[in-house]
């Protein structure tokens, strides 16, 4: 099976303010594994580092430290030159991710040819139409001739999803794939992603602010705060029985979708790097302690991932009495 392992990933950015330079740690020792047929959701407020993780996996940013390893069905490492055949990204903004000058056909034919999945004009045209049909864009021949501005936002995002599938990707990184779409069509696009995942046995990383869809569409949830994963576990457990004080605040702030709310995380103000008196990478303790209602003296030291239930971990001293240190993500097995 094709799997992607992220291990101890770190990303530092340099911030320039006049003549002063400082370093800011946006991602701090993040580890998880993506496996076929499973969705891992990465949730957290704005600025917690989710997109930076996605961009490193998509090779749009270089990690400062840590490693991202793609392994094939035989368990062997997949070579760098074919990495993009296997790992594709769906971006938040379908308007920006498609070139307004090119037709839909061009957007899909290019990756098909580039990755050797179509040969000759007729074969390419047929495969473009097949891809469009898979994402419910019909009549495919008509859609293929259009340019992005002739499509709705939802249709554009479906083209972006088809483009991610064109190289035969096994791993899909979906960074807030529906947050810019009209609320009425979001569920349709997420259901489409879920169907394609089942049909192709894809491994999906779903990045979102939306706890309700994270729970519904994911098997596991990782909660990020200031660059660190502070809680991880099966989706239902993390949402229904959050154990890290930060996750508890998030879950309490998210309206209950069953009560008619939208189940969306409060978008808190972005944490500006220059404003941090202690940067996550420099902070030897828990970075949530200045906001934590349960902060204790021991929080000035960094907690490890304490087991709070089966396969469920919280990076919080409140759970130090629990079973220790068998976090599969940090022990090398599946997250
Ligand atoms: N190229 C960059 N240079 C400097 N700082 C950056 C850069 N890219 C991201 N950051 C900072 O890194 C932190 C993490 O950003 P990131 O976009 O990964 O967060 P996020 O959780 O995805 O937020 P959002 O949900 O708003 O997209 C933020 O403080 C951001 O300002």
Q: pLDDT tens digits for 63-102? A: 999 999 999 888 888 888 889 889 999 999 887 888 989 9
User: Residue 252's pLDDT is what?
Assistant: 87
Query: Which residue's CA is the closest to the ligand 1 atom numbered 18?
Result: 49
Beta bridge partners of 67: 7
CB 322 within 8 A of CB 305: no
Q: pLDDT tens digits for 52-65? A: 999 999 999 999 99
Query: Which residue's CA is the closest to the ligand 1 atom numbered 30?
Result: 47
What phi and psi, each to the nearest 5 degrees, are found at residue 45? -75, 170
What is d(CA 62, CA 300) in angstroms, rounded to the nearest whole number? 30
Could you tell me the distance, in angstroms and rounded to a whole number, from the CA of residue 124 to the centre of ligand 1? 38
Q: Which of 323, 318, 270, 264 is nearest to 296 (CA)?
A: 318
Could you tell me the distance, in angstroms and rounded to a whole number, from the CA of residue 224 to the centre of ligand 1? 12
CB 229 within 8 A of CB 40: no
What is d(CA 263, CA 251) in angstroms, rounded to the nearest whole number? 9
- Of the two residues 166 and 276, the one the predictor is more confident about is 166
Give ligand 1 pocket residues (Cβ under 6 A): 13, 26, 44, 46-52, 271, 273
Could you tell me the distance, in angstroms and rounded to a whole number, from the CA of residue 254 to the centre of ligand 1? 22
What phi and psi, each to the nearest 5 degrees, are found at residue 232? -150, 150
- Of the two residues 263 and 230, the one the predictor is more confident about is 230
Could you tell me the distance, in angstroms and rounded to a whole number, from the CA of residue 49 to the centre of ligand 1? 6
Please return the burial class of 277, using the count of CB atoms within 10 Å of its CB with bins 0-12, 13-18 and 19+. exposed
Could you tell me the distance, in angstroms and rounded to a whole number, from the CA of residue 277 to the centre of ligand 1? 17
Mutate to test the pocket of ligand 1, among 42, 47, 208 (most ligand atoms within 8 A of CB): 47
State the closest ligand 1 atom to the C-alpha of 55, by its place in the atom list counted from 1. Answer: 18
Q: ipTM score of the complex?
A: 0.97
CB 78 within 8 A of CB 19: no
| 328 has pLDDT over 60 | no
Alpha-carbon Rg for the chain, nearest whole angstrom, is 21
% pLDDT > 90, the chain: 69
State the closest ligand 1 atom to the C-alpha of 227, by its place in the atom list counted from 1. Answer: 14
Could you tell me the distance, in angstroms and rounded to a whole number, from the CA of residue 272 to the centre of ligand 1? 9
User: Residue 282's pLDDT is what?
Assistant: 62
Please return the burial class of 95, using the count of CB atoms within 10 Å of its CB with bins 0-12, 13-18 and 19+. middle
Q: Would the pTM of this model clear 0.95, i.e. be above it?
A: no
Mutate to test the pocket of ligand 1, among 16, 27, 46, 52 (most ligand atoms within 8 A of CB): 52
| 40 has pLDDT over 70 | yes
Find the length of the chain.
335
What is d(CA 149, CA 133) in angstroms, rounded to the nearest whole number? 20
Q: According to the CATH classification, is domain 1-86+171-180+201-255+279-320 in 3.40.50.300?
A: yes
Beta bridge partners of 223: 43, 231
Q: pLDDT tens digits for 253-269? A: 876 555 443 444 444 43
């Amino acid at each position: 099976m094709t799997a992607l392992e992220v291990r101890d990933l770190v990303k530092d950015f340099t911030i320039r303010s006049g003549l002063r330079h400082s370093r800011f740690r946006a991602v701090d020792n993040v580890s998880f594994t993506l496996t076929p047929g499973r969705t891992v959701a990465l949730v957290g407020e704005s600025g917690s580092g989710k997109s930076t993780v996605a961009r490193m996996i998509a090779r749009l940013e270089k990690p400062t430290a840590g490693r991202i390893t793609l392994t094939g069905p035989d368990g062997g490492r997949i070579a760098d030159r074919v990495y993009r055949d296997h790992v594709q990204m769906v971006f938040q903004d379908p308007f920006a991710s498609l070139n307004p000058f090119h037709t839909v056909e061009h957007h899909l034919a290019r990756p098909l040819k580039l990755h050797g999945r179509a040969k000759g004009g007729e074969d390419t045209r047929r495969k473009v139409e097949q891809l469009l049909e898979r994402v419910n864009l019909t009549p495919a021949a008509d859609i293929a001739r259009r340019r992005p501005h002739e499509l709705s936002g939802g249709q554009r995002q479906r083209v972006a999803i088809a483009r991610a599938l064109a190289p035969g990707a096994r791993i899909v990184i979906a960074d807030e794939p529906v947050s810019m779409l009209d609320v009425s069509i979001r569920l349709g696009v997420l259901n489409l992603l879920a169907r394609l995942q089942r049909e192709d046995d894809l491994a999906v990383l779903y990045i979102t602010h939306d706890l309700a869809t994270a729970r519904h569409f994911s098997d596991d949830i990782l909660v990020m705060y200031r660059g660190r994963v502070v809680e991880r576990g099966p989706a239902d457990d993390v949402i229904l029985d959050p154990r890290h004080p930060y996750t508890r605040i998030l879950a309490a702030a998210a309206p209950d979708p069953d009560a008619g709310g939208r189940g969306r995380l409060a978008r808190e103000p972005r944490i500006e790097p220059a404003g941090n008196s202690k940067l996550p990478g420099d902070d030897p303790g828990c970075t949530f302690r200045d906001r934590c209602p349960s902060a204790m003296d021991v929080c000035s030291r960094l907690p490890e991932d304490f087991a709070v239930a089966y396969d469920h971990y919280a990076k919080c001293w409140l759970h130090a009495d629990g079973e220790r240190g068998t976090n599969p993500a940090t022990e090398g097995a599946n997250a």
